[in-house]
Amino acid sequence: MLFNSIEFLVFLPAVFLLYWFVFRQLKWQNFFLVVVSYVFYGWWDGRFLILIALTTLFSYCSGRLIEAFEGKRRRQKAVSVANIVLNLSILGVFKYYNFFAENLAALLRSLGVEADGVTLDILLPVGISFYTFQALSYSIDVYRKKLPACRDIVAFFAYVSFFPQLVAGPIERATNLLPQFYRPRSFDYAQAVDGCRQMLWGFFKKVVVADNCAAAVNLIWDSYTEQSGFTLLTGGILFTFQIYGDFSGYSDIAIGTARLFGIDLMRNFNFPYFSRNIAEFWRRWHISLTTWFRDYIYIPLGGSRCARRKVMANTMIIFLVSGLWHGANWTFVVWGAYHALLFFPLMLLGTNRKYTGAVAAGRRMPSVGELGQMLLTFLLVVAGWIVFRAESIGQAWDYLNRMCSPSLFQLSMAYGKRAGLYAAVLLAVEWLQRDKQHALQIDGAVKAPALRWCVYYMLVLSVLFLKGMQAEFIYFQF
């Protein structure tokens, strides 16, 4: 079920009313959330419910077994490893089997061995990477003794399948989300109102900004061999706003929706396009995934507390895995390696942890130096998104070569004028709100209720009448 659909417009109020006025006891609220979450997820294809149920059961049972083997670390480790292998095997078959089969066959043919890759006609389950990683974090944290094993199977099913963040994150940690299903919840009006604001801004980013950018981006990419370098740069910039508006818009809607049910989800985006270097960008972009890789892969590999060569190798591994997580295509791997290479100079100079606060804190405008840093970082990110958007490495290389031709300086705006205007509005609002949790957290800045309601109505009208044509969210495919 899509957030931006008529079905969800009916689904959400009905679930909200039943949740607070019928299922008032905690155990029934949790059970109800499991049921509606499975309805929400099964709306695409009911067969996928088997996979999420298996992932949930494997992780729940692993936690109980780890607890049962208290004091027997070898057995606990065996259970934890078995759960990781089982869940990653499901993910690997559905997401990566054809990719590796085709590439292995191509490698063998290059060595003179006749081989045909045996591929399978597999439909990728929506959001499988998200809920698999969320389930894995639980069993790993139980093994590490960061939290006790869950004994309430209904609460655990609710943790894995909670519908607002089920298919595109944030990828929650059991240490944050699971305890919230143990505690009684009461309706908090202020929390719900703020959740509605965040949802509204998320819908604006998705429906108005991302979907309008998508229309122009698709036109440019479909005929990129006929376009000027400037138009191709325009396409790259518009895709940069498309993927941000699409993905962070989903996160805003998910976080806001969860707050309607008394649940707090972690922040997933922190205005990443105001970053002053690539390291800061990755602290602000898809925070739930980058911190997941940091805590469950990077630090166990040794993190930054080892020889510099090892640190750089660990960093490259993280970025390559991050790229592959996004999809079974070499373009994603190259995209990850590209960001690792941008990261290395910052590590060598010791500036990768330099910027942790909001840019131009306490000032309305950035300095010339800060503006230059943000612009350079933004353009580097744009180049990366072009590789990410391409269907093949060859197409990405061709696109970039054509973009960097002399026609780059032939200024024209044949595509995306309206989308560019909406993106500029997004940037302006988020700049003014860059020290807030989300861009529509305006109750403190705009004191007059009438003026706040004018803002809300303008956004609602924008969503209704300025929406683009694309419906699905980009990150559903991951």
Residues designated as active site: 326
Round to whole Å and give the CA distance between 337 and 315: 10
Tokens of 161: 């399948």
Tokens of 448: 């007059």
Tokens of 53: 């149920």
Q: Return the SS3 of 71.
A: coil
Contacts of 21 (CB under 8 A, 6+ apart): none
Comparing CA positions, the residue from 32, 50, 33, 49 lying closest to residue 41 is 49
Residue 306: HSE in the Cβ half-sphere, 13 Å Cα cutoff = 13
Round to whole Å and give the CA distance between 253 and 258: 8
Q: Is the dihedral of CA 241, 45, 156, 28 positive or negative?
A: positive
**Amino acid letter, residue 78:** A
DSSP letter for 408, please: G
Query: Would you say 270 and 339 are in contact if contact means Cβ atoms under 8 Å apart?
Result: no
The gap between the terminal CA atoms of the chain, to the nearest Å, is 16
Contacts of 459 (CB under 8 A, 6+ apart): 200, 201, 203, 204, 440
Quick one: CA torsion of 203, 204, 206, 210, rounded to 10 degrees?
170
Contacts of 429 (CB under 8 A, 6+ apart): 439
Neighbouring C-beta atoms of residue 356, cutoff 10 Å: 8
